[in-house]
Amino acid sequence: MEITERGVCLRGFKAYGVREKGYGLAVILSDRPANSSIMVTSNRVMAAPLLVTIEHAAKGTLLGVVANSGCANAYTGEKGVEDAREMCRAAAAELGIDPETLAVASTGVIGRPLDMPLIKSLIKKTAGSLDESPESSMAAARAIMTTDTKPKSISVKTRLRTGEEVEIGGIAKGAGMIAPKLRPGTAHATMLAFLTTDAYVPQDRIHTILKEAVEQSFNITVIDGDTSTNDLVVLLANGAAGNREVDDSFQEALNFVARELAKMIVKDAEGSTKFFEVRVKGARSGEDASLAAKAIAGSNLVKTALFGGDPNWGRIIAAAGYSGAEFDPENISLQISSKDTTARLIEEGRVLALPGSEELKKAGKVMKAEEIVITLDLRDGGEEATAYGCDLGYGYIKINSEYTS
């Protein structure tokens, strides 16, 4: 697998994006029908564009995506749904395609109507500038940003066992209101991720393939515990590579792209100064491992301890304890590590990081690092899970206390 710099602009794909007057508008377009899959928020208050996207994606193929930042178009009633449809119609008219071949997405403040005259103006400008260059993909990534401080983009090449070289790329946005609980669309500030590939991915497999990638990336990220009304992941596979099937190398590459985008989101979290990874192993079941990992990553007390560099490791085991995971607290092992230091806090139920101990001193050093790994061994089975999180400090409070004012 080789990392490239093309973002979503792979063979047969064009993109672009513009920003103006507090809004952004991005378009991604395939030159041929693409087998597609979507995953959407589990929030009961689902934004209008997701309702429209679910309808359009039900046919199994899409040509592209039109997305705006600056307004979530959520909790906007029938007018919001009509505005989402109008976004598709306006983009389709500029692109010469059927409106129902487009997914539509929005991100921004909830409960406010879209500025449709401005949206249409931005669609016109964007559609006239679509291009296959990496710069155009980056323009699309910038256009969907809200409180993000940097665009999020990656692409990779991999070779299938049958010999064809295929490419997978993606752009994403998200810095707050991130605790995605994405579910298949056919059965959070918001997280949006748009993935493209020039591989042919069979329609009867594409949902399973996307679900695997999402479950080990976006669905294990926790910034603030808030699941957005607008979370959406779209995968478009246009088949330009000429392959007839995909194998494990494709899945591995897609998983990598999704994980890297998820990490970029957490590392760019609102006001954050640290990124941490929670690895839970030795669990009786995958569900137990996942429950414990997500609880630790989502704990405000763990997050604030990380922000302050305080080695208050009791908060970690407390979070695991209330997570719902089944385990014996008297049997666990816990350590935290940075790039150059590892602190063993608990070993098979025995506390090592006592006041004045060398391990507690090491823990204090680890907690001051920008990237930290928390490893909890439940010593009760063979299952494991990972979650990504960030610290929580003054910057997050300031951004979100002033978001609409």
User: How high is the pLDDT of residue 395?
Assistant: 67
Which whole number is the average pLDDT over 107-126?
A: 96
Retrieve residue 191's tokens: 């997280």
Residue 358 has pLDDT above 50, yes or no: yes
pLDDT band at 337 (very low <50, low <70, confident <90, very high): very high
The residue count of the chain comes to 405
Do residues 329 and 380 lie in contact, with contact meaning Cβ atoms separated by under 8 Å? Answer: no
Q: Which residue has the tokens 């100064």?
A: 273
CB atoms within 10 A of CB 2: 11
Do residues 236 and 197 lie in contact, with contact meaning Cβ atoms separated by under 8 Å? Answer: yes
> pLDDT tens for residues 29-40?
999 999 999 999
Which whole number is the average pLDDT over 347-361?
A: 97
pLDDT band at 190 (very low <50, low <70, confident <90, very high): low
Helices H, strands E: what count in the chain?
11, 17
Distance of CA 292 to CAs 317, 374, 396, 400, Å?
Answer: 9, 12, 24, 27
Integer Cα distance of 303 and 316 in angstroms: 10
Do residues 277 and 296 lie in contact, with contact meaning Cβ atoms separated by under 8 Å? Answer: no
pLDDT band at 227 (very low <50, low <70, confident <90, very high): low
Q: Which of 119, 116, 262, 118 is nearest to 188 (CA)?
A: 262
Integer Cα distance of 142 and 68 in angstroms: 11
Residue 223 has pLDDT above 80, yes or no: no
Do residues 233 and 210 lie in contact, with contact meaning Cβ atoms separated by under 8 Å? Answer: yes
Mean pLDDT of the chain: 92
Positions marked active-site: 190
225 or 48, greater pLDDT:
48
Do residues 179 and 300 lie in contact, with contact meaning Cβ atoms separated by under 8 Å? Answer: no
pLDDT band at 220 (very low <50, low <70, confident <90, very high): confident
Cα angle at 208 between 259 and 44, to 5 degrees?
80
Structural domain boundaries in the chain = 2-267, 275-401
> pLDDT tens for residues 277-323?
999 999 999 999 999 999 999 999 999 999 999 999 999 999 999 99
Retrieve residue 257's tokens: 């792209």
Residue 271 has pLDDT above 90, yes or no: no
Retrieve residue 53's tokens: 């996207």
Residues in CB range of 182: below 8 A, 6 or more apart: 39, 40, 41, 42, 214, 218, 219, 231, 233
Sign, CA dihedral 99-102-108-110, equals positive
Give the fold, CATH level 3, of 275-401: Ubiquitin-like (UB roll) (3.10.20)
Do residues 66 and 57 lie in contact, with contact meaning Cβ atoms separated by under 8 Å? Answer: no
Residue 405 has pLDDT above 80, yes or no: no
Strands 152-159 and 342-347, how do they pair?
A: unpaired
User: How high is the pLDDT of residue 385?
Assistant: 95
CATH of domain 2-267: 3.60.70.12
